Chain A
Amino acid sequence: MSDPEPQSPSRRGLRLRQKLALILLLAALVPVAIASSVAVLLVVRGLEEGVRAQTDRTLRVALNLVLGHVEEVFQSSIRLAGSELSMALATGRTQAIEEVLAHRENELPRGQVIIADASGRVVAERTLNDQRTAASLSAEELNTALRHGLAYERRVTFARSNRGRGLLVIRAVVPVLDDGFHLQGVVVLVAPLDSEFADRLKAQLAADVVLYGGEEPNASSFVAADGKRQLAIPVPAPAFKLVQRGPSAIAQTTLEGHSLSMGFAPLASLEGERLGMLAVALDQESVVSAKVRAWHTLLVTGVLAFFFALLLAALISRRLTGPLAHLHAGAAAIARGDLDTRLQRETGDEIGDLAEAFAQMTHAVRENQERLAARMRELTTLHEIGRAISSVLGLDEVLDKIVEELAGVLSARRTVLLLADEDGAFHVGAGVGVDQDRAGLARLGEALARRQGPLVVDEVLVEADLAEAAAAAHVTGSLLAVPLEQKDHILGLVLVNREFAPFADNDLGLVFAFADHASSAIQNARLYHEVQKSSEELELKVKERTFELVIANQELERTLRELGQAQAQLVLSERMAGLGSLVAGIAHEINSPAGAIQGAVDALRENVARLAKRAREIGDLAMAPEDRAHFFALVERLAPQLGEVRIDAPLEVRRRTQALAEQIASFGIHHADLLCRTLVEIGATEAAEPLALLGRTYRLEPLVGYLEQYAYLQRNAAAIRTAIRRVTRIVGGLKSYSHLDQAKAEPANLHDGLENTLVILHHELKYGIHVVRKYAELPPVLIYVDELNQVWTNLIHNAVQALGGRGEIMIETRRIGSAIEVAVEDNGPGIPPDVLPRIFEPFFTTKAKGEGTGLGLGIVKQIIDKHGGHIEVSSLPGRTRFTVRLPIDGPPVAASTAVG
């Protein structure tokens, strides 16, 4: 992949480059500019200083030269005034003097010499050494000079000549003494400071010299282009002022375009009178041109430096920011998601390191992406498998799906799912690329199973224990085998084979996942199968029960028929008119249980049907075997008490339901209140927790429904039993009533009898009649159970009838000494007072014919008398109470049982 050349450099890269370039430029130029400006300034100033210093030096030297000349002149005068002249003067002969002068002339400077004698008279005068311009003194000056000399004074001074334009001269006066220090005469020497002198100075100074008498330049070394002496050198005004004030001055001036640096020193007489000036002039041209050159150089080099720096800055910044720009572009590409971007990493600096780091990151990201994609694919496959499994119930379809997906994901040539039989033999459950090798694969599977664990090999034929089976099954190359296990018994084996590519670790993991799914599917299928079987067995049992019940029912019908016959016989016997009623009453009495039986049998039919349905539903739940076993065990355990019924007031039911719901609240069962209510109604509250536990895993409705139906079944069966017993008793009672039975008195629980009676009359009591029981602790009482049951039946039945289907019946039992008292109270309209005394008469009834025998209370009284007890009645509107008292020890022996 080639480097992506940035199409248009990003804005940032350019700015950075520009910044860098600018900074470099400034960093290079600013100090350079400052330094070079300062340097040039210093150089220029140095040059100027140098010129000043040089001028000053030259001036000093010039001054010294001038004063040296003064001394020279003086010394010459002194020498001249030596013994030779002294002697010549002593002779008084002019010629002698002239000779001396001639002799000494070449020792004397240019100028003029005047010799006077001891009286001051001038005796000789001579212009010396080709002195061209006359440098003579005024007479006054001469006299002054001679006066000094005659006073033995030696003097030398500057003076101004009276010729020319006041040319400066040196004037020396020396007295001439003999050996005895006697005065012989005076020597006066005048030396001009003229242009020739200026030339001499120039030769020694290498600078031009100008001598000013007063303000007029009257001697100079300047020579014009035409060779003529240049005298008109104007004094720069500031210099003149300075010189007037101080000892010297330096000033600049120009002469014919030449720049000059001039130094001025004043010259004064001994008396201090300012006579003129000595000036030196140095050509400044070279300095000026040097200065100009310096500035030019500065400018040129400055411009060059600028461009050079600019170029360098541009190059350097480009070089530095280039890799950075590349890096930036690459990073942007990666950020966009183009992970294949390659970053340039050639520079050896931090940018290279950065690029390297980026590349590594990209690589890592890319790898992760790929891994992620692979994982996603696997997850998707697993999900689909899961879905397939959950959507396809058939085991075969599930297994087929598994092997298909596995083959696809792993690109396997052959994918096989082997299932194990109970005896450990394998067979192909599903397979891709299996063809004709089913048997061989099965064998291979068995071989693999013996390994007892998963297997990944790159070449199966290498494995000693598998090679034969593999070859037989035409399996070569990479092999991956994962056993399907459930609680360490093998369900089967997954086998994946491909030719050329070895399996990776995550392939194994994938297959494990698939294998788990397969195991689950297989297991579930088996469970389902089992549940179905259980359900079928249950149906069978129910059918058996039903059949038994039907038989029982048939027998009952037969009995009924017999009864009917008895009834008919009774009717035929007709002892009394009341007997017909009695029989009718008895028949009526018997109707109740019969009806109960009938009802129970009907209900039973429905029960059984519902029960079977519930059983099927339970089968559909595909419960785990142990759970299923638990449930049915529970059912079996609860069965007895499910048959026993308690009639509870709705309020009581509600209370109990709430209590139960709280009990199992922690289980978080849906419709828990419904469940609890049901359990409470069927009296299976202790099933609440187990069911709730199951309810976490499975739908409870089938289970609870099953239990309910089972309860009802039991109840109905119990009801049938009870009803049959009732009938039996009624018949027994009838028998005893008509001396058919000489039953014995036996100790019994009165409450049982009461409850039995309530059961029998349940269907009468169910709607609108609320039964309140106030039972005390009673010992067993010696009674004729059946007969008393008649009593209770009668009393309760009467109460029910009196209430007209709506009201409250209270049954109260208590012990009084050696007797038991049982009271049946109702809140009906009451018995009218005129009827009350006659209520116990046999056959006395207020009912219409056929409705009631009227026999009831009479029989009741007879039975009570038989027991040695007592019955009484009290009645007010809203409160009718029948109280029966029975001795605990039973009836007296001699009591007659004859019913009159």
Chain B
Amino acid sequence: MSEKVLMKGNEALAEAAIMAGCRHYFGYPITPQTEIAAYMAKRMPKIGGVFLQAESEIAAINMVIGGASTGRRVMTSSSSPGISLKSEGLSYLAGCDLPALVVNVQRGGPGLGGIQPSQSDYFHATRGAGHGDFHMIVLAPSSVQEMVNLTFKGFDLAEKYRMTCMILSDGTMGQMMEPVTLDMGEIQKYDKSWALTGTKGERKPRIINSLFLQPDELEKFNFARYERYKKIEENESIYEEYRMEDAEVCIVAFGVASRVSKNAIDKAREQGIKVGMIRPVTLWPFPKKRFEEAADKVRAFVSVELSMGQMIEDIELATRCRRPVLLCNRTGGMIPTVENVLEKIAEADKIGGTR
């Protein structure tokens, strides 16, 4: 129906956010995600929305907390060092049970790092986005089309479960152009009876807060939150498979690493190696069940990453360490080549094992 257009990943993501009903964007420029802010700056004033360049990343995430408290669809975006600065706010969003979309177009780290693509914020996104017991839903796009689809889905999941959804992208996805369709369908409506919309003197004030001095009260909230997380783990994990039917070696990769892996899998198949890929689209919740099943059939896994093996822990946990997990990685802004992945596939193929 809708025509395909050519867009950069960052711009497509921004347009998808607008189509998803986001009218409040708070950000601060940083390569390689600046196009998101630039696009919002251009579009928001024309559609009655708010684009606000904050004085810092910290200010921006706190504006998101404020905006989210009113029940509106709000977002911020940044790249790795900027996301570190937002950590406190991410914890507060969780403590307040507020829905928000946060985009991380990752670059090399640690520290100020570099500006080339990376996936080394995996731990931060899936485990330690801030202090306290909490999770974010983490979505990893591997094409410009998915930058669009997952942004739309991200807002939906955030509201459905009243929590932060993070798009964990990388510099390649943000900067590349591909044809995309922007036809996303209906926006789902959720109960907002918690939102601060003004009492007009007609109802009791609502309170959004993350401070609980009574430990038993705080515990109750944390328990309840983790009940919700359990449901998310059961119902919301997403993955895509590639040539897994008869695979004996299983690549695990997301984002740009999965794109490189696809080429490598095709080449390895030409050489007669039975290799496929499971690409997690949700990094939290990690698609554990599928990996548990895969461990019954494959001899080895290969984690292809732009980081130092951060995803291996999730693969080993999901498969209960029943199969070796090899690492094929580059880091610091480098991207594994098809040849790098091919070599690792060949190495993994030599591993024997009971089947």
Partners in one complex: no
